[in-house]
Amino acid sequence: MGRVSDAKEKLMDAVFELVWTGSYGTTTIDQICERAGVKKGSFYYFFESKADLAVASVEARWQMHRGELDAMFSATVPALERVKRYCEYSYKIQKENVEKYGRVLGCPQVALGCEVCTQEDALQKKIQSIMQYKLKYIESAIREAHSEGLVSAPDPTAKAKMIMAYYDGLLMEARIQNNVESLRQMWPGVSSLLGVKGELVAV
């Protein structure tokens, strides 16, 4: 009973967009409220602080993204194809960012994590855990590809970490250089890292 509101969701969307297209530190509560079309009184009704909102927002996005990942990494998809789709998906998202915001924005978790990790403990922990989850998708696909003899990865965990580092690094460089086309190299690079058998790798 009582009044119903979507202000909470609007605030979570607003902070996500503002931080991704800008930065956490320079995004103010007033800005977030304005973007969300919500008054500050309502902000403090739902959240304790900017950090509190950011944690909720990152978590909410992650729950949505999770579904997409489950589809991309579906067991019905061949193991290597999963990783390839993930690379293509990343390119697609960044291409959309270029169209929508005129800029490559990179990975929201990594950009935010990198900025706040020395300052916002709860946010850092949330992001760390999401990054661990993401790693598991890759790791499981690699393990399967290895046991199928498609790639050489006797230590799938180590290999997955290596690929994640390359993936995150490429996305972040794309953000800094504002160059979406560099992401075209993602699958070839990952493929070469995996030592995909029977594929010609130009690099």
Q: Which amino acid is at 42?
A: S
Residue ranges that bind its own copies, judged by CB under 8 A: 21-26, 103, 105-106, 110-111, 113-119, 124, 127-128, 131, 153-155, 158-159, 161-162, 164-170, 172-173, 175-178, 182, 185, 189, 192-193, 202-203
Among 16, 22, 24, 41, binds DNA (CB under 7 A): 41
Q: For residue 167, give the nearest of 102, 99, 96, 89 by alpha carbon.
A: 89
Smallest distance, DNA to C-beta of residue 164, A: 32
Which residues contact residue 191 at a Cβ distance below 8 angstroms, ignoring those fewer than 6 apart?
84, 199, 201
Give the x-and-dash track for 4-23 against DNA (CB under 7 A).
xx-x----------------
Smallest distance, DNA to C-beta of residue 60, A: 16
Contact between 38 and 15 (Cβ < 8 Å): no
State which residue, 32 or 104, has the beta carbon closest to DNA.
32
Contact between 157 and 139 (Cβ < 8 Å): yes
Binding partner at 203 among DNA, its own copies, none, C-beta below 5 to 8 Å by kind? its own copies
Q: How far apart are CA 114 and CA 116, in angstroms?
A: 6
Q: For residue 29, give the nearest of 57, 49, 58, 8 by alpha carbon.
A: 49
Give the x-and-dash track for 46-85 against DNA (CB under 7 A).
x--xx-----------------------------------
Number of Cβ within a 10 Å radius of residue 170: 20
